[in-house]
């Protein structure tokens, strides 16, 4: 099993999780991306392609992901962690 460089923080909103990592995800202080909005950020597009993900906030070393109410984290989180590991070059 590969070493993970991502830690997961539970948010006060149960539909949001925060993922901290060692890989810079954006050069901006914060970016907000919503499902269905025009988007030129490739990483955000991949996050939003995960079924159930509605919004992603990207910061240099952090991603916050919001899911739709009817989805469970068990369905979404493995895909988010896999995506982040790919960004770290671990997968």
pLDDT score for 4: 52
Domains of the chain: 7-88 (3.30.1370.70)
Residues with Cβ within 8 Å of residue 51, at least 6 apart in sequence: 71, 75, 76
Is the Cβ–Cβ distance between 26 and 59 less than 8 Å? yes
Is the Cβ–Cβ distance between 77 and 4 less than 8 Å? no
Q: What is the mean pLDDT of the chain?
A: 90
Mean pLDDT score, 65-73:
98
Helix (H/G/I), strand (E/B), else coil: 35: coil
pTM: 0.88
- Residue 50: is its pLDDT beyond 90? yes
89 compared with 56, residue with greater pLDDT: 56
pLDDT score for 89: 61
């Amino acid at each position: 099993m590969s070493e993970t460089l991502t830690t997961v923080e539970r948010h006060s909103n149960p539909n949001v999780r925060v993922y901290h990592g060692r890989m810079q995800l954006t050069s901006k202080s914060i970016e907000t991306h919503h499902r269905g909005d025009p988007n030129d950020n490739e990483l955000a597009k991949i996050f939003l392609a995960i079924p159930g993900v509605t919004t992603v906030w990207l910061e240099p070393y952090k991603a916050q992901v919001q899911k739709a109410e009817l989805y469970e984290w068990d369905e979404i989180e493995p895909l988010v962690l896999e995506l982040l590991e790919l960004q770290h070059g671990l997968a």
